[in-house]
Amino acid sequence: MARTKASAAAKKPRARRDPDATKAALLNSAVTLFDKYGYDATSVQQIVDDAGRTKGAFYHYFESKEDLLRDLHDKFIDYQLEKAHAVLERDEPADVLLKDLVIEVLMEPLGLYKSEISVFLHEQKFLSEEAFEEIRAKRDEFESCVVQIIERGIADGTFKPLGPPRLLAFGVIGMCAWSHTWLTTGGRVTPRAIGEMFGEIAVNGLRA
C-alpha cells in the first residue's frame, strides 16, 4: 500500500513555474518600494523579500537594480511606441492623427502605467549615461512620431507653421507627460476624457 502511494506521488506532475509571474512580481514590488522609499534607499533584498522571490530569481531577470529601473521604463514606452506607430499608419488628416495620438498614446497609458511612469520620471537621475542610451533611443523614436504628424500637418496646410516641428512636439508631449503628478486613476474624469480635452487644445492651437 505504501509502495502504491509512493508510486502515485512520484507520478504526480510538478507545479510549473511561471517566469512571467516572477518577473512581474519583482517589477511590481520595485515600483511600490521605489515610490515609498526611493530608488537609492531600496535594496535588492527588500525587493525580493516583498515579491516573495529569491535573489537568484532577481539576477536571472535583471543584471542589477539599474537594469530593473530600465525595464520599468520599457514596460510603458514599448506600449506607447506600438500605439504611436499604429496611429501613424492610419489614413487620416494630421489634425485627427494628432488628437488620436494625444488620447491613445499620451493620456490613456497613464491609466495603465501611472505608477511606473511616476517612479521612472522621479528616479531616472540615478541611471548611468550608459544605461540611459537605450532609453534615449526609444524616447527619440517616440518624439519622432509626434514630429512626423506635425510636419505632415504643416506641409498640407492643416497646421500653422508656428515654429520648429520638434519644438511644437515638445509642447504637446510636455502638456500630457506631467499629468502623472496630479492624475487620479479611477476618478470621475478618465485619462481618455482628459486626452480629448488636451487633444482639442493641441489641435486648435495648431490648426491653420
DSSP string covering the chain, please? -HHHHHHHHHHSPPPPP-HHHHHHHHHHHHHHHHHHH-TTT--HHHHHHHHT--HHHHHHH-SSHHHHHHHHHHHHHHHHHHHHHHHHTS---HHHHHHHHIIIIIIHHHHHHHHHHHHHHHHGGGS-HHHHHHHHHHHHHHHHHHHHHHHHHHHTTSB---S-HHHHHHHHHHHHHGGGGT--TTSSS-HHHHHHHHHHHHHHHHB-
pLDDT 10s digits, 10-46: 443 433 456 689 999 999 999 999 999 999 999 999 9
Cα 66 to Cα 40, 190, 193, distances in angstroms: 10, 32, 35
**pLDDT of 7 higher than 90:** no
Q: Which tens digit of pLDDT belongs to each residue from 132-179?
A: 888 999 999 999 999 999 999 999 999 999 999 999 999 999 999 889
Q: Which has more pLDDT, 131 or 135?
A: 135
pLDDT at 5: 43
Question: What pLDDT was estimated at residue 12?
Answer: 38
What is the average pLDDT across 200-206? 97
Cβ partners under 8 Å of residue 140, min gap 6: none
What are the pLDDT digits (tens) for 62-120? 999 999 999 999 999 999 999 999 999 999 999 999 999 999 999 999 889 999 999 99
At 20 the pLDDT is 82
Tell how far CA 14 is from the center of its chain: 35
159 forms bridges with which residues in the sheet?
A: 207
Per-residue pLDDT band at 184 (split at 50, 70, 90): confident
DSSP classification of residue 89: T
Instruction: Provide the residue type at 151 as one letter.
Output: E
Domains and CATH numbers, the chain: 16-62 (1.10.10.60), 64-206 (1.10.357.10)
Contact indicator for 115, 31 with CB cutoff of 8 Å: yes
Q: Which pLDDT band holds residue 189 (cuts at 50, 70, 90)?
A: confident
Query: What is the predicted pLDDT for the residue at 111?
Result: 87
